[in-house]
Amino acid sequence: MNKFFIGLGVILVATAVVLAVFGQSIVTSDQSNVSVKWYNDLNSALQEAKNTNKSIFIDFYGEGCSYCKQLSENTLSDSSVEKKLSQDYVAVKIDTNQNPNLSSQYKIYELPTLVILNSNGQEIKRQEGYVSADQLLNWL
């Protein structure tokens, strides 16, 4: 009977250790998996920025723009960039081909162009051309 309880105790301790180790890694993985909510409508983003007291990050891009595609795939998908954008900004992607009026309003002459606005829609700063994740994080 004593061997039964000793064996049961060993199994319970082993199970607790496994759950503690793997349970912690699952929590860590979920916390690092940040996703940016991208708006495609500037008016909705402006309203969200006012509600959350955040600045607006706009990615002006165009279909067929290879540097825009690289920015999206390499820079904006970087986990550190995603974390920064989701914490501090309301993020917007604007296709310049489908939104020529916004492109003119914000004087977009080169793609990609990144623009930071305050919650009232006033431009704070801009970055034209491709940037790496490290360069973007330093600029932000």
Q: Count the residues in the chain.
A: 140
Other Cβ atoms within 10 Å of 92 Cβ, number: 24
pLDDT digit string, tens, across residues 77-109: 999 999 999 999 999 999 999 999 999 999 999
**Domain 35-139 classification at class level:** alpha beta
Task: Please report which residue ranges of 1-140 form alpha helices under DSSP H.
Answer: 2-32, 42-52, 66-70, 79-88, 100-105, 133-139
Contacts of 125 (CB under 8 A, 6+ apart): 115, 116, 139
pLDDT-based confidence at 34, cuts 50/70/90? confident
Q: Where are the domains of the chain?
A: 1-33, 35-139
pLDDT digit string, tens, across residues 44-76: 999 999 999 999 999 999 999 999 999 999 999
Q: Which of 6-20, 83-97, 124-138 has the lowest mean pLDDT?
A: 6-20
Q: For the purposes of burial, counting CB atoms within 10 Å of the CB of 50, is it exposed (0-12), middle (13-18) or buried (19 or more)?
A: middle
